[in-house]
Amino acid sequence: MSTERDSGNSLTRMLSILDLFTLEDSLWATNDILDALSLSRSTGYRYIRSMTSAGLLSAVGNGYYVLGPRIIELDLQIRETDPLLRAAEGVLEELSTATGQSALLCTLFQNSIICVKDYRVPACPSGMLGRGQRRPLFRGALSKVILAYLSPHRLRTIYKRRHDEIIDAGLGGEWVDFRNNMSKIRSEAVVISSGEFSKGVSGCGAAVFNGEGEVIGSVGVAFQAELWAELDRQTIIDAVTHAGREISNHMAHKAKEQVLRPRAVG
């Protein structure tokens, strides 16, 4: 048992190297990787060699690395086989046509949401969420509508662990306030937000569920905030609600083959 635990911890530490690579810091030197993760030289070199051999890292100079081509290959595989993406085929395009706005599909990922697909119109707001980008769980329509449908037990756990963030987002100073705010969102079925993460960007989102009724993601539209007064709000709300229901129905039809579980840890 101890050996298995040690092996698991070692794998987790090795894969944490990937977390270092961002749009701002896309190039890392060996010594900087070792320092950032407090790795010994022998362990760090072993990890880097293994990840380079697997194609997860690529050497680009004397001791420098970037993300490797295996990630591109995995991304293609995800685009073709991910159950949520397959359930949403054609839905974002229909949603965009119905509303005239850019459409997005998001999923839970750890303690945040991540965009897995976007369909953009020419007037797409510059700060709109795009595929591969994360957003906090407490800000924005497509985040909060997922949050509201998490189980009561998970919501309470999240409230205890992230109380300060919840207060900062205006979702409730006390547990009863937070619980009531989540209940209100569920009763309305959609969330509308404006500028909560990106200034000037408004959104409307609905939840997406798996075949067992668990929330796994959200679908919605994003548009320039100043347009909201000119738009047909009910048309947007109805179209977003329909898109969420359609994707959820597709997930339910696939439930006998596979049930996609929520990807959050709370």
Based on the domain organization, do 102 and 63 belong to the same domain? Answer: no
Q: Could you read off the pLDDT of 22-62 as tens digits, one per residue?
A: 999 999 999 999 999 999 999 999 999 999 999 999 999 88
Based on the domain organization, do 130 and 182 belong to the same domain? Answer: yes
At position 59, the amino acid (one-letter code) is A
Based on the domain organization, do 12 and 46 belong to the same domain? Answer: yes
Domain membership of residue 7 (yes or no) is yes
Q: Is 224 exposed, middle or buried (0-12, 13-18, 19+ CB in 10 A)?
A: middle
Predicted TM-score (pTM) of this structure: 0.86
Tell which of 71, 93, 114 closes a domain: 71
Domain membership of residue 259 (yes or no) is no
Domain membership of residue 247 (yes or no) is yes
Token pair belonging to 103 = 């459409």
pLDDT at 2 exceeding the cut of 50: no
Q: Which of 133-137, 239-243, 246-250 has the lowest mean pLDDT?
A: 133-137
Q: What is the pLDDT of residue 91?
A: 98
Based on the domain organization, do 222 and 249 belong to the same domain? Answer: yes
Based on the domain organization, do 96 and 58 belong to the same domain? Answer: no
Number of domains, the chain: 2
Q: Which of 10-19, 44-53, 112-121, 224-233 has the lowest mean pLDDT?
A: 224-233
The label of the residue with tokens 């209940």 reads 183
Tell which of 71, 92, 117 closes a domain: 71
Domain membership of residue 195 (yes or no) is yes
Q: Is residue 4 very low, low, confident or very high in pLDDT (cuts 50, 70, 90)?
A: very low
Based on the domain organization, do 194 and 136 belong to the same domain? Answer: yes
Domain range enclosing 45: 2-71
Q: Could you read off the pLDDT of 119-171 as tens digits, one per residue?
A: 999 988 888 989 999 999 999 999 999 999 999 999 999 999 999 999 999 99
Q: What are phi and psi of 13, to 5 degrees?
A: -65, -40
Contact 91/162 with Cβ under 8 angstroms? no
Based on the domain organization, do 18 and 88 belong to the same domain? Answer: no
Read off the CATH number of the domain in which 55 is found.
1.10.10.10
Based on the domain organization, do 86 and 67 belong to the same domain? Answer: no
Domain membership of residue 263 (yes or no) is no
Based on the domain organization, do 170 and 99 belong to the same domain? Answer: yes
Token pair belonging to 75 = 């991304």
Tell which of 13, 36, 71 closes a domain: 71
As a whole number of angstroms, the distance between CA 53 and CA 154 comes to 39
Q: What are phi and psi of 221, to 5 degrees?
A: -125, 155
Based on the domain organization, do 147 and 188 belong to the same domain? Answer: yes
What value does the mean pLDDT of the chain take? 91
Q: Which of 174-183, 209-218, 248-257 has the lowest mean pLDDT?
A: 248-257
pLDDT at 114 exceeding the cut of 60: yes
Q: What is the pLDDT of residue 197?
A: 85
Domain membership of residue 151 (yes or no) is yes
Over its C-alpha atoms, the chain yields an Rg (Å, rounded) of 21
Tell me what percent of the residues of the chain surpass a pLDDT of 90: 77
Domain membership of residue 197 (yes or no) is yes
Domain membership of residue 77 (yes or no) is no
Based on the domain organization, do 67 and 151 belong to the same domain? Answer: no
Read off the CATH number of the domain in which 142 is found.
3.30.450.40
For residue 112, how far is the Cα from the chain centroid? 6
Based on the domain organization, do 144 and 239 belong to the same domain? Answer: yes
Contact 70/15 with Cβ under 8 angstroms? no
